[in-house]
Amino acid sequence: MIPAPFTYQRAWSIDEALELVARGGEDAKFLAGGHSLLPLMKLRLAVPEILIDIGRLRELSYIRDDGNHIAVGALTSHHDLATSGLLASALPLLAHAAGQVGDPQVRHRGTIGGSLAHADPASDLPAVILALDATLVARGPSGSREIGAGVFFRGLFESALEPGELLTEICIPRPQPGGWSFQKFTKRAIDWAIVGVAVQGSSVALVNMGQTPLRASAVERALASGAGPADAAAHAAEGLTPSSDLNASSGYREHLARILVSRALEESVSRA
């Protein structure tokens, strides 16, 4: 199985990547690690005519302590996130969740920016950056702009990135003191989560409970009004309409959400 024919172009700088994508227009797509895009292309679910390989832009692979926040370059691999000493102490939720993505081979190639820009609601990291209240930085022809994680995910595989924009950085505020947890339920080890949950303090975000990663607002409201983990978790599926597919019915996803949120809140409290 090979992808449909396309033209491969390689960018050696951010400016060159932006030039190439401007020239390629809507037929062009950026290729980072390729672990979301290439499988889709092999299945003909994505058929870009031009692939712009940004994998050599080493300047976009970093994890930096900026005081009040941690800056993560969009091309930082899951492996580098999972093994970062800085993240282990400053943002253990992100380091831990990155270590649960796919398998070691996938984590060597896959990048945080690729995962976020792909905007798959079944991916782990989108929910994590939602729970962490991150800000995403995109560079386009007219400069950089910041997009809050809460408005970044627009729909199934749809982000707030405009055509011609490149996601360059994820800025994550240092969390308030508190616990954290990441839970996901899969059939087999390397599968996407049937449902997942990321908790940071009193922020709770869900994987695969709708068209986008979602904040579990009803749970957060319950926590804010003093509910304990079990009582708050009972609200996990409130107002949500998860999909039914080969892996799970909508009702089973709602059940899993309640169970996983409960486990995550309890684990988070035990770490606080």
Partner 1 sequence: MKVTVTVNGSQVAAEVADRTLLVHFLREQAGLTATNVGCDTSSCGACTVLLDGQSVKSCTVLAAQADGCAVQTVEGLASGPDEMHPVQRAFRAEHALQCGFCTPGMVMATVSLLAENASPTEEEVRSALEGNLCRCTGYHNIVRAVLAAASERRPS
The site for partner 1 (CB under 8 A) is made up of 1-8, 10, 31, 34-35, 38-39, 42, 51, 53, 55, 79, 83, 102-106, 108-109, 189-190
Tell me if residue 22 falls in helix, strand or coil.
helix
Of the CA atoms within 13 Å of residue 125, those in its CB half-sphere come to 30
Of the CA atoms within 13 Å of residue 189, those in its CB half-sphere come to 4
Measured from the CB atom, the residue of 39 and 228 that comes closer to partner 1 is 39
Question: Pick from 97, 114, 206: which is nearest to 168 by CA?
Answer: 114
The minimum distance between CB 184 and partner 1, in angstroms, equals: 13
The minimum distance between CB 39 and partner 1, in angstroms, equals: 6
Of the CA atoms within 13 Å of residue 178, those in its CB half-sphere come to 17
Measured from the CB atom, the residue of 104 and 239 that comes closer to partner 1 is 104
The minimum distance between CB 111 and partner 1, in angstroms, equals: 13
The minimum distance between CB 158 and partner 1, in angstroms, equals: 23
Measured from the CB atom, the residue of 189 and 225 that comes closer to partner 1 is 189
The minimum distance between CB 114 and partner 1, in angstroms, equals: 12
The minimum distance between CB 16 and partner 1, in angstroms, equals: 16
Measured from the CB atom, the residue of 186 and 211 that comes closer to partner 1 is 186
The minimum distance between CB 8 and partner 1, in angstroms, equals: 4
Rounded CA-CA distance 260/200 in Å is 14
| Sheet with 7-10, edge to edge strand ranges | 7-10, 50-53, 28-31
Cα of first residue to Cα of last residue in the chain, in angstroms, is 48
What DSSP string describes 52-105? EE-TT-GGG--EEE-SSEEEEETT-BHHHHHT-HHHHHH-HHHHHHHTTSS-HH
Measured from the CB atom, the residue of 48 and 164 that comes closer to partner 1 is 48
Measured from the CB atom, the residue of 4 and 272 that comes closer to partner 1 is 4
Of the CA atoms within 13 Å of residue 232, those in its CB half-sphere come to 25
Measured from the CB atom, the residue of 108 and 263 that comes closer to partner 1 is 108
